[in-house]
Amino acid sequence: MAFDDMDVDTIWMDGEFVDWDDAQTHVLTHSLHYGTGVFEGARCYDTVDGPALFRWEEHLDRLFDSAKVLDHDIDHTRETLTDATLSLIREQGLASCYIRPLVYYGYNSLGVSPKDCPTRTTIACWPWGTYLGEEAIEEGVDVMVSSWRKHASSQLPTNVKATGPYLNSMLAGEEARRNGYVEAIVLNKEGNVAEGPGENIFMINDGELFTTGVSESTLDGITRDTVIELARDLGYTVHDEASIGRGELYTADELFFTGTAAEVTPIRSVDDTTVGNGSRGPITEELQQQFFDLVEGRLDGYDEWFLEV
């Protein structure tokens, strides 16, 4: 859905709440030219106890880690960013939404070195359903292995969320969609599975879970971590630093993506090869159910992952 069709009117910019239409930046903004920003994607869920941010502290941790790698000095505290986010959600009457903090080098000069450019910080929230579509949650998605490889962490940081490296995600995802697929899987420099353009990937074989870790140029996703914990709590064995070859995608019993935006989305085919039974597999369904029960506040024992709005 386009922003103009949404009932949202405020964005937080550098300490101020501004009207949505006034949240502007100069065309000579450093990060617009060189991709030198860092960002987060978090969610507020409409839980049975009311709206609550899910794993917000972990998203803030990653935002500050990302900023550190790009040498951004965020001149706002975690508390300020948290208060701003809670106010945006309350004041706009949002029950569930996606939350996008962005930190970027602003306007001053345009050498590649950003050292004279100010670090700017913004937060926007808007309603956003599951990234790959409601139908995908039940039916699964058809994906292709991209001809684009994921950069190694010696080329661009892969353990944090910087804006520039998302060019790789954009190219891989658009290649897939141009070819009639919903999403891509990207291989790393060695030719093993890295992840999706905006998702981690899980493989299930013989009742055990396998997912790639940071050593495979994979982002240490917060949903990935959540699903690992849920799966272990259910008694499953999870191999969380697995190396997955391309061929294993075709022979897997089940595959699914995880991500804040994509939540838990089954993969039903890779390169037109059916995965498992060609629809959502039984363990994927169980974990997906557990995930939605969790984020909607129906599971006991995970209170520390929620921050009430």
Which lies closer to ligand PMP via its Cβ, residue 142 or residue 183? 183
Choose the catalytic residue: 68, 115, 161, 189: 161
Residue 17 identity (one-letter amino acid): F
Answer for the pair 74, 82: CB distance below 8 angstroms, yes or no. no
Q: Which residue is nearest to ligand PMP (CB)?
A: 221
| Residues contributing to the site for ligand PMP (CB under 6 A) | 41, 169, 195, 198-200, 219, 221-224, 258-260
In the complex, the smallest distance separating the C-beta of residue 58 from ligand PMP, rounded to whole angstroms, is 8
CA pair distance 202, 264, nearest whole angstrom: 10
Output 92 or 159, the one with its CB closest to ligand PMP. 159
Query: What is the spatial distance between Cα 31 and Cα 259, in angstroms, rounded to a whole number?
Result: 25
Instruction: Please report how many Cα atoms fall inside a 13 Å half-sphere around the Cα of residue 158, on the Cβ side.
Output: 26
Residue 62 vs 72, nearer CB to ligand PMP: 62
Smallest gap from residue 64 Cβ to ligand PMP (A): 15
Cβ closest to ligand PMP, residue 183 vs residue 195: 195
In degrees rounded to 5, what are phi and psi of residue 113?
-65, 125
| Annotation says 161 is catalytic | yes
- Helix intervals (H) in the chain: 30-34, 56-69, 78-91, 134-139, 166-178, 222-233, 246-251, 282-295
Q: Which amino acid is at 194?
A: A
Question: In this complex, which beta carbon is closest to ligand PMP, that of residue 192 or of residue 258?
Answer: 258
The conformation of residue 4, written as its DSSP 8-state character, comes to: G
Q: Least distance to ligand PMP from the beta carbon of 118, Å?
A: 26
Max Cα distance, the chain (Å): 57
Instruction: Evaluate whether 81 touches 4 at the Cβ level (below 8 Å).
Output: no
- Positions annotated as catalytic residues are 161
